């Protein structure tokens, strides 16, 4: 009786360990997706706040320009940090994806039934495509950062000694170029988030009605 109970406990522990190992890969991928999504949204919000401050400055028609300029330069720090953070993140995204999807593929290739294996490989290919699309959008977004940061830095310098109505008028062209560049970054980050959300839904173990 004691031996039978011990065997049952041993089997239960083994089964629990096996399930934990199986779910670990899915949970690690889900965590990587969520981290990429959160950081992408954070970057977008930092840039949006900086452009909002810039637009408030260049559209001001009367009153003291200093508070608006201070708000712009203060938020510029967040933009620079967001650009640096996202550039580093993009460099890691491809490696993380390859790690997760290669492990997943290795597991699928051990499936004996051809039908199950083929369908599993198709699911893997779809998930990998979502990840790669998001990574590509983020990569393209980072190529826009130097231009955006350049416009913003030039505006900051130009106004540091000429914070006047005419000085502000002189940087309106650069401000428009910064907004145009941000628009391209915004489209790319939104695409990346959409791809990651699609992947999250596809990989979720929770069935929604």
pTM score above 0.95: no
**Cβ within 8 Å of residue 195, ≥6 positions away:** 130, 131, 133, 134, 137
**Cβ within 8 Å of residue 82, ≥6 positions away:** 42, 43, 46, 47
Tokens of 178: 């910064």
Eight-class DSSP state of 162: -
pLDDT, tens digit only, all 209 positions of the chain: 444 454 444 344 434 443 444 456 677 777 878 888 888 899 999 999 999 999 999 999 899 999 999 999 999 999 999 888 888 888 777 787 888 888 889 989 999 999 999 999 999 999 889 888 988 998 999 999 999 999 999 999 999 999 999 999 999 999 999 999 999 999 999 999 998 888 888 777 676 66
Nearest CA to 196 out of 119, 132, 101, 122 is that of 132
Cβ-contact 50, 75 below 8 angstroms:
yes
């Amino acid at each position: 009786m004691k031996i039978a109970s011990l065997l049952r406990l041993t089997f239960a522990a083994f089964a629990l360990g096996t399930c934990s190992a199986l779910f670990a890969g899915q949970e690690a991928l889900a965590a990587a997706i969520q981290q990429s999504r959160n950081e992408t949204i954070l970057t977008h919000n930092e840039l949006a706040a900086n452009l909002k401050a810039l637009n408030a400055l260049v559209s001001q028609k009367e009153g003291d320009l200093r508070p608006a300029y201070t708000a712009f330069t203060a938020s510029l720090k967040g933009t620079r940090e967001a650009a640096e953070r996202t550039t580093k993140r993009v460099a890691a995204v491809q490696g993380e994806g390859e790690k997760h999807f290669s492990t997943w593929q290795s597991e699928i290739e051990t499936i004996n039934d051809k039908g199950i294996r083929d369908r599993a490989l198709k699911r893997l290919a779809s998930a990998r495509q979502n990840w790669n699309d998001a990574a590509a959008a983020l990569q393209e977004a980072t190529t826009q950062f130097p231009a955006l940061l350049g416009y913003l830095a030039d505006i900051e310098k130009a106004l540091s000694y000429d914070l006047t109505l005419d000085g502000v008028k002189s940087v309106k062209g650069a401000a428009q170029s910064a907004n145009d560049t941000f628009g391209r970054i915004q489209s790319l980050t939104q695409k990346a988030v959409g791809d990651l959300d699609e992947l999250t839904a596809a990989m979720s173990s929770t069935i929604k009605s």
